[in-house]
Amino acid sequence: MMERCCYLCGEPITPGQSVTGDHIVPVVFLGKKQPKTRGFDYAGRIPTHQACNNHFSNETFFRQSIHLLELAQAGQMHGALQNSQHAGITILPVTPDQVPTFTNREFKRFSFIDTREVKIEDLKDPAFYAGKKKVNLLKTAAQAAITVKAKSAAALLIKRQLRHVPSYWRIFASPFEVGGSSDISQYFDSCKPFGLHTRASFRELRPNEWLVVYQHTSLLTFLLFAFHDAEIDPRQVLNYPECEIHTFAGRSLNDLVGYQWHVV
């Protein structure tokens, strides 16, 4: 069945359609092709329609999102600044050395405001911000990171456990930043990593309910997949008081593109 079904839209792959193999663990996490050497788990690919795969083709955006989160986790981001004349205006300064590989496309995607030629007096004036889009930079980055992990975890489940594409998705995600002294080995047992900084484990909690623990560098995400109609309290599983739980529900993984995860 997997050879004839696109895991992103759930529709059959029919003769004559453009087909591609999507990396189950995205290259954005590995920095290169997945290693097929001893000691690593080769996740391989999973078939999709070419058009569906193109929906998720902006890997640079995901890579830059993870870069911003890693900067914040490492304490290398500048602190937020509140406008002295308007308490409702807060800015998060980002300097060129922090984002050396960002292009104008990424600056626009994250809604950066270029202030390199702006005078300090103008930055202090609330009128400068009138009409400009208000965004939460790190929230935008976190949402993108959750999306790419959820997509990859879903592909792992389909390929290795479910053996079919679900007709409806309910996903709960709880991101967590791993400190240097954190011991998370209990979540991964003896599972092999996909790359030097990427690994995932999964276990079935009850019929049609799976927990996937996905780590990339210092960013750990707990993902609860519920393929049933019963009510569920995600905090019974994702019971980390300091972490928010985000939720997604949709008929296909394609709905993840541009989706704003809701906080439970």
Tell how far CA 250 is from the center of its chain. Answer: 17
pLDDT at 192 (0 to 100) = 93
pLDDT at 180 (0 to 100) = 60
Q: What angle do CA 77, 79, 82 make, to 5 degrees?
A: 145
Q: Which amino acid is at 45?
A: R
Answer whether 6's CB lies under 8 Å from 52's CB.
yes
Has this prediction a pTM greater than 0.75?
yes
What average pLDDT values come out for the chain (264 residues) when binned by 10 residues? 79 88 90 84 93 85 87 86 91 92 88 91 92 89 93 96 93 85 80 93 95 92 95 89 90 93 91
> For strand 246-250 and strand 209-216, is the pairing parallel, antiparallel, or unpaired?
unpaired
pLDDT at 181 (0 to 100) = 59
pLDDT at 3 (0 to 100) = 52
CA dihedral 67, 185, 149, 175 (to 10 degrees): -70
Q: What share of the chain is helix, strand, coil (3-state, %, to 5)?
A: 30, 20, 45
216 DSSP β-pair partners:
198, 219
d(CA 23, CA 33): 9
CA-nearest of 250, 172, 259 to 9 is 250
pLDDT at 71 (0 to 100) = 87
